Amino acid sequence: MDLRTDQMTQNASDDFPHPLPPREDTEEEGRLVTLREVERRYIERVLREVRGTQRRAAKILGISRWSLARRLRKYSLAG
């Protein structure tokens, strides 16, 4: 079963209101990428959507602003 189906996201709880990343975010040259890489790409994508507003990005990601700042440093995305 493909977890990206509309049926699956329609039944998702409020804790996970956003659809799963598209396949191109989870695969690279026909192979699956690591969870770390998926997280990094998703954080980048959310930050682009909110034009860099970290408070809004943290809310969408369901993490604290502090946790987002830590992940930005972890993935060298800060600054």
Mind listing the pLDDT tens digit for each residue in 58-77? 999 999 999 999 999 999 99
Query: Per CATH, the architecture of 6-74 is what?
Result: Orthogonal Bundle (1.10)
Are the C-beta atoms of residues 52 and 72 closer than 8 Å to each other?
no
Mind listing the pLDDT tens digit for each residue in 36-58? 999 999 999 999 999 999 999 99
Whole-model pTM?
A: 0.65
Q: What is the DSSP letter of 10?
A: H
Tell me how far CA of residue 19 lies from CA of 29, 53, 68, in angstroms: 23, 20, 20
Q: In which element (H, E) is residue 73 found?
A: helix 65-74
